[in-house]
Structures are given as C-alpha cells and as structure tokens.
Amino acid sequence: MGRVTSRRRVVRLVDDAATARPDTLAVEEPLEIRVRGKSLAVTMRTPGDDFDLAAGFLVSEGVVRNPSDIANIRYCAGATADGSNTYNVLDVGLADGVAPPDPSIERNFYTTSSCGLCGKASLDAVRTTATWQVAADPIRLDPKLITEFPAKLRVAQRVFDKTGGLHAAGLFDAAGNLLCLREDVGRHNAVDKVVGWATRNGRLPLTGTVLMVSGRASFELVQKAVMAGIPVLTAVSAPSSLAADLAEEMGVTLVGFLRGTSMNVYTGGHRLGVAVGAR
C-alpha cells in the first residue's frame, strides 16, 4: 500500500531568520479505476481506503446501488513494466446482471483531486439516475447541533494534523454522532470514500444523515449526496450556484459557511426550523 504522508526538507523563513527543517506532506498519487477490466477514470488521491473510493465513485455514477452489485474489488498486479504492483490501479468486478457503465457516460478522463468530475451532466441527468428520493426524508435538526460538526470533524482529522493539506468528509447521524470520516487531497475523493464505506457496509440509502465537508459545496458534492440518499449537506465554505440549484431541485438541505455559531441555509430550511425565501 502507498504511504499517506512523506517527508521533505524545507527552509522555513521567519522574518530574517532561515532554518532548515523536515516537513510532512500529504501524498498525492494517481488511482486508475477499472470496471470489468476496462478503464473508467483516473483520479489523483491520497492512498488509503481505495476500495471505498472506487465503490463510492460507482454509486455517484449510478452504476452501483447495493453492496451485492459488487462482486469484488482488487488491485491489479503487474501495474508497471517490471511487473511490480504500485497499488495505483484497481479493478471492480460487477455481479451478474449488473450493467457496466453506460457508454454515454464512460469517459477516459483525468480528473484533478480538486475539481472532481468537471463537466458532469446536468440537473436532469441526476434526477433521472437518482435511486432514492431524499426530499421525503423526515430528518429534523437543531441548528446548534450542526455548529458542533466542524470541530468534531477537525478533531478526527489525524493526517491533517501532520500535514495541514487534506480535505475531510464526515457522516453524522441526527444525534450528532460521527459515523465515518475520510481524508483525501480531494474533497470529492473524501466524499466518495465515505459513500463507498456506507455502500460496502450495506448502509445505503443514508437516510437521516448529514454529510459535512471541509471545503466548498460544489454541484458534484450535492450530486454524490443525492445518489447516496443523504438529505443534508453542510460545508465550511460557500456552495456554487449550480449546487444550490440541484439541492433545491432534489430536496437536499444545503448549508454553507458553517463557522462558529453562524451558517447560511440555502435550501431545505424546514429541516432546521427556518424558512428560506425565494431567490
């Protein structure tokens, strides 16, 4: 398995003083995801929880809905010319009767760890492929409970403590308990790892849960929440306009700028006991 962190010598400048010292960096390496031996995607990620990442990615793509849809996940041996295994290529075997990715959405693409699946389909595509209707989720939350999530997320970020260079995604229940946390150089990968963990443990749909992300809330993150059946998405930074549009369309409660005791509620305010006015 690949390393999560690496050490590098740096020169630290403070005022006019220069000091040589070692620094810890978060590792970023490519991961190629294949389905039945056919390449589907290459993403830059932090090694670790790769099977969860692949499973969550396939849930987001609408290929997988239940753990029984996945026959196996394995690293591909001989990933290099000399036959050694880099643990940077894995193949997902689908169960009999599970259709492979539709040719219309198959993409041999490189996606950066920051932007996710840029250019992914429109609101209509998500609406037609979503398995669960999150709009009907009855979860209700006290806003004060949500304000505790960033601190809980931060405490659980062990690799961030060493590097300061990783995003995090955390899944909470309605009582504020942290069910799962994953870290990665890409916030989209961190979310896929959480969704993949839930998929492989038979927890989909994630009814009555809250997804907390350490960065901004993009269209792709709302999409991933919808595809996993998550009714509430909170972020410490801003959502994009398309993220808010999709959240409103699909009935997701979207919270941004969750810092200290304040937050902006963009959609689905009824779950927090507030009314969100029209645009």
Catalytic site residue 76?
no
- Contact (CB, 8 A) for 154 and 192: no
d(CA 212, CA 149): 7
Q: Which residue has the tokens 């670790």?
A: 48
Q: Which residue has the tokens 């009855």?
A: 138
Catalytic residue among 76, 115, 118, 180: 115
Diameter of the chain measured on Cα atoms: 66
- Contact (CB, 8 A) for 212 and 172: yes
Burial class (CB in 10 A: 0-12, 13-18, 19+), 34: middle
Which residues are catalytic, by number? 115
